[in-house]
Amino acid sequence: MEENKKIPQHVAIILDGNGRWAKAKGLPRNYGHKQGAKAVEDILVVARDMGIKYLTVYAFSTENWNRPETEVSALMMILRQYLKSSIKKSMKNNVRCQVIGERSKLSSDIQDAINELETATAGNTGLTFTIAINYGSRDEIVRAVRKIAAECEDGKLKPEDISEEMISNNLDTANLPDPDLMIRTCGEQRLSNFLLWQCAYTEFYYTDIAWPDFDEKQLQMAVDAYGNRNRKFGGLKNDSEA
Ligand code: IPE
Ligand code: IPE
Ligand code: MG
């Protein structure tokens, strides 16, 4: 293994398998979600200590509303508690927190908790932690296109002046670099509508471990795998080819 291992600047994670993890133990799915929230708290500190600057997690998709009402409300309760308890911990850990996704569909107290958390932690510099809630990449792109189209309609912008950078800057992730590494747990190998535009050149890592069991060792394995990848961005970056 190389001495100077490359650390991904931005790691995105599709937290998957809470339900299967609980079911395998004969426990209710919602117990899996609770343990999943704990695993997020723990991995945040591990990621910061590894030198990762941005961590983005997929907590609730625009499609997750299709789950049974009891599961949706349990997830919302866990998110509510997570957001509220995060202020103190984030201040202690120097973590800046933000939420991406469409907020208007969330209950007003969750929207308030998001605003409070974002405001309180805005000055923290250790790691930027982004939680995707009611997030869908297609929805995000539609919202961005609408904003840009409105500027065209107002005569402020010409269609031919629309650039890739402008699109990136109108996404919810405007203040984030594109992810270097995307991790998905529990065996599935798909994006499920997460960061479609942003993952154009992201490295993917899949593991069979269910999210509640994803710990420091697991993250280290993913980061090591990333360190051994040869990112080429369409060019010829391999030493032997240069
Ligand atoms: C991930 O675990 C959490 C959310 C999607 C909210 P799942 O709930 O998807 O767990 P599985 O995939 O059913 O096991
Ligand atoms: C993706 O997981 C969404 C989140 C992790 C929040 P899902 O479990 O909802 O995805 P699918 O349905 O298996 O694609
Ligand atoms: Mg799942």
- pLDDT tens figures, 149-190: 999 999 999 999 999 999 999 999 999 999 999 999 999 999
Atom of ligand 2 lying closest to residue 63 CA = 9
Residue 49, pLDDT > 80, answer yes
Q: How far apart are CA 178 and CA 168, in angstroms?
A: 9
- Kindly give the distance from the C-alpha atom of residue 52 to the centroid of ligand 3, in angstroms, as a whole number: 25
Structure tokens, 4: 């100077």
Residue 104, pLDDT > 50, answer yes
Q: Which residues on adjacent β-strands are paired with residue 184?
A: 14, 206
pLDDT, mean over the chain: 96
How many C-beta atoms lie closer than 10 Å to residue 88's C-beta? Answer: 10
Give the pLDDT of residue 5: 75
* CA-wise closest residue to 226 among 4, 32, 5: 5
Q: Could you tell me if residue 154 is inside a domain?
A: no
Give the pLDDT of residue 1: 46
Task: Determine whether 112 is an active site residue.
Answer: no
Confidence at 240, pLDDT banded by 50, 70, 90: low
Q: Could you tell me if residue 163 is inside a domain?
A: no
Give the pLDDT of residue 99: 98
Q: How far apart are CA 53 and CA 126, in angstroms?
A: 7
Q: Could you tell me if residue 162 is inside a domain?
A: no
Residue 203, pLDDT > 60, answer yes
What CA–CA distances, in Å, run from 130 to 14, 28, 109, 161? 12, 27, 19, 30
Give the helix/strand (H/E) hosting 129. Answer: strand 127-135
Q: How far apart are CA 140 and CA 146, in angstroms?
A: 10
CATH number of the domain that 104 lies in? 3.40.1180.10
Instruction: Give the residue numbers spanning the domain of 214.
Output: 3-136+178-228
- Percentage of the chain beyond pLDDT 90 is 95
Q: Could you tell me if residue 10 is inside a domain?
A: yes
Atom of ligand 2 lying closest to residue 60 CA = 6
- Let me know: does 194 contact 12? Beta carbons within 8 Å: yes
Kindly state the average pLDDT of the residues 16-36. Answer: 98
Residue 193 near ligand 2, beta carbon < 6 Å = no
Active-site annotation holder among 4, 16, 161, 213: 16
Task: Determine whether 134 is an active site residue.
Answer: no
Q: Considering its fold, how many domains does the chain have in total?
A: 1
Give the pLDDT of residue 2: 46
- Kindly give the distance from the C-alpha atom of residue 93 to the centroid of ligand 2, in angstroms, as a whole number: 29
Pick the ligand that lies closest to the CA of residue 62: 2
Residue 75 near ligand 1, beta carbon < 6 Å = yes
Q: Could you tell me if residue 236 is inside a domain?
A: no
Question: Ligand 1: which of 14, 15, 18 to mutate, judged by most atoms within 8 Å of the beta carbon?
Answer: 18
- Percentage of the chain beyond pLDDT 70 is 96
Residue 129 near ligand 1, beta carbon < 6 Å = no
Give the pLDDT of residue 3: 47
Q: How far apart are CA 61 and CA 177, in angstroms?
A: 21
Q: Which residues on adjacent β-strands are paired with residue 16?
A: none
Q: Could you tell me if residue 172 is inside a domain?
A: no
Kindly state the average pLDDT of the residues 48-73. Answer: 98
Give the pLDDT of residue 62: 98
Give the pLDDT of residue 4: 54
Give the pLDDT of residue 237: 73
User: If phi over 0 gives left and psi between -120 and 50 gives alpha, with beta otherwise, what is residue 136?
Assistant: beta
Kindly state the average pLDDT of the residues 108-115. Answer: 98
Q: Could you tell me if residue 166 is inside a domain?
A: no
